[in-house]
Structures are given as C-alpha cells and as structure tokens.
Chains A and B, each alone.
Chain A
C-alpha cells in the first residue's frame, strides 16, 4: 500500500529521499557498533559519525516533509519497506567485521561526495544550503575514512573487503532480505502504539 503522503506530487522527494534513506539506514548500521567497536576511543568517534548521518537524514526528510505536508518522523518511520529508496549497499549488515565496515565507509563517502556536491548546485535554495552544511560535516567523515584506509591498506582482509564491496557501491534497486528485518526492528516501538507521541 502506498502511503497517502507519497501520492502527493513532490519535486524534492525523488531527489532527496534516496539520500535521506541511505543516511538513515547507514546511520542505523553504523550505530550497531555502539559499545562494541574495536577500541573505546574509536567507539566514541564512530558514534558521532552515525549521529551525523541520522542528523543529515532528518534535515533532508524535513525538506521533503515541508513539500508533502507531513513530518520527518513520518517519512523516516511510517512508510512500508518497499517505499524506502535506500541502496542495498547501506542495508548490508557488516557487524562485527571492521574491515568491511571501514571499506563501506570509505566507498560510501566517496560516492556521497559526488551527489552532495551536485545538490549544492540546486536551484532550490533550501536544498543547496542544506547540501553545503552536509558537505562540511561529511568532509570530516572523509578524513576519518581516509585515516583508517591509510592504516589498513596493507591488511589483506581490508583489501578483500574493498574488492568485494566496490561493485556494490553504485547499485540501486531491490532491497536485500536483511532490510525487512531492519525495518521491523526500526519501527517496532513506533508501531506498538500507533499514532502515539513518543
């Protein structure tokens, strides 16, 4: 069933929802490392990255929500799984494989930079403004990914991880089976008392 919200016409939705959904789901996957990252200092740092991603998702959803007369939370949580526009790449569950996690982080930030820079050229001032802010934060993510890349580049399992994940980075299409599980867990509290304020 298509949400009533998405039946309305929106210029921003097709442009921004894929990015917002990617950031939401990647932020979700990255938060799976909370408390169990390889060492404590990195745990704290990686958690900030996850928070930034969710923050980006929220800001992007808010721009779309304004056009569709809904809220960011409704867009983030109240669509059915097939209405999400995230890529299979971000849906992959990689914990506890740090090599794959960093490989995805590195590849994702590279690809994301391109599309955010494109958004910075948008005629829609709110979109280009937000894109500039996101880009400034993502500059730090790119630095972090590079820092780990430099440290791990001679490590065979990291090289393998990059090779395995690189072809998936650009693919967009079907959700993978893990996404249904993710959606289920992500929305379980919200669905438990429909329409409630939390």
Chain B
C-alpha cells in the first residue's frame, strides 16, 4: 500500500520545524524525494523532517479536574496582599519596589 508521510519544514535556522503537509509514497526513499520536491524545490526550506504518519501519535485530551493552578501564573493573585502590606508599612506610594 502507498503510505502517507507527514512533512515538517524549517524555513530558516532559529525557527521551529512546522508541519507543512503530507505526501503519499511507496517507501521512505521515495518519500524523501517527493518531500524535497513538494516542499523544497523553490529553496523555501533549509531542512525537512519526513515522518511516516503512523509514527505520529496525537493527544488531544488533557485532564485537570481539580483546578491545578498552583503552577500557573493565574494561581497567584497578589493585588490584595500587596495593598495590605503597603498600608501597614505606611503607604509608601510612589517609591519603587
């Protein structure tokens, strides 16, 4: 059977590899050829990753039933605490830190 290969391309160094599309080919040798042609014949990529589709596992379910915000920025509302600390220290508004 002809196999599907996913192609990722690097536009230039410093950029991440990005998914560019897919090709059908009988094997890896052909897939490399066809990927080079479809995604590189215009010199639009400096590198390609060619990966058999079956090697890719997609995950799209993430469990967070108990609201684990202790490791996220939104778990730290400091406005109120900051206001009280400033009040106790004698309102040092206008000074930095």
* CB interface residues, A 92-146, toward B, < 8 Å: 143-144
Query: How does the 8 Å CB contact mask read for A136-167 relative to B, with 1 for contact and 0 for none?
Result: 00000001100100110000000000000000
The answer for the CA separation of A151 and B27 in the assembled complex, in Å, is 10
- Tell me if A's interface is mostly helix, strand, loop or mixed: helix
Tell me which of B24, B29, B41 contacts A41 (CB under 8 A): B24
The answer for the CA separation of A150 and B30 in the assembled complex, in Å, is 11
Asked if A147 meets B30 with Cβ closer than 8 Å, knowing A41-B23, A41-B24, A41-B25, the reply is yes
Q: Is the beta-carbon distance between A44 and B38 smaller than 8 angstroms?
A: yes
Task: Please tell me if A71 contacts chain B, counting CB pairs below 8 Å.
Answer: no
* CB interface residues, B 14-70, toward A, < 8 Å: 23-26, 29-30, 33-34, 37-38, 41
Task: For A151, give the chain B residue with the smallest CB separation.
Answer: B26
Asked if A147 meets B34 with Cβ closer than 8 Å, knowing A41-B23, A41-B24, A48-B41, the reply is no
Task: Please tell me if A36 contacts chain B, counting CB pairs below 8 Å.
Answer: no
Task: For B34, give the chain A residue with the smallest CB separation.
Answer: A41
The answer for the CA separation of A130 and B30 in the assembled complex, in Å, is 29
The answer for the CA separation of A144 and B24 in the assembled complex, in Å, is 17
Known: A41-B34, A45-B37, A48-B37; 13 extra A-B contacts, CB below 8 A, are: A39-B24, A41-B23, A41-B24, A41-B38, A42-B34, A44-B34, A44-B41, A48-B41, A144-B33, A147-B29, A147-B30, A147-B33, A151-B26
Cβ contacts A to B, 7 pairs, < 8 Å: A41-B24, A41-B25, A41-B34, A41-B38, A42-B34, A44-B38, A48-B37
Contacts from B to A (Cβ < 8 Å): 23-26, 29-30, 33-34, 37-38, 41
Shortest 4 CB-CB contacts between residues of A and residues of B: A41-B34, A45-B37, A44-B37, A147-B29
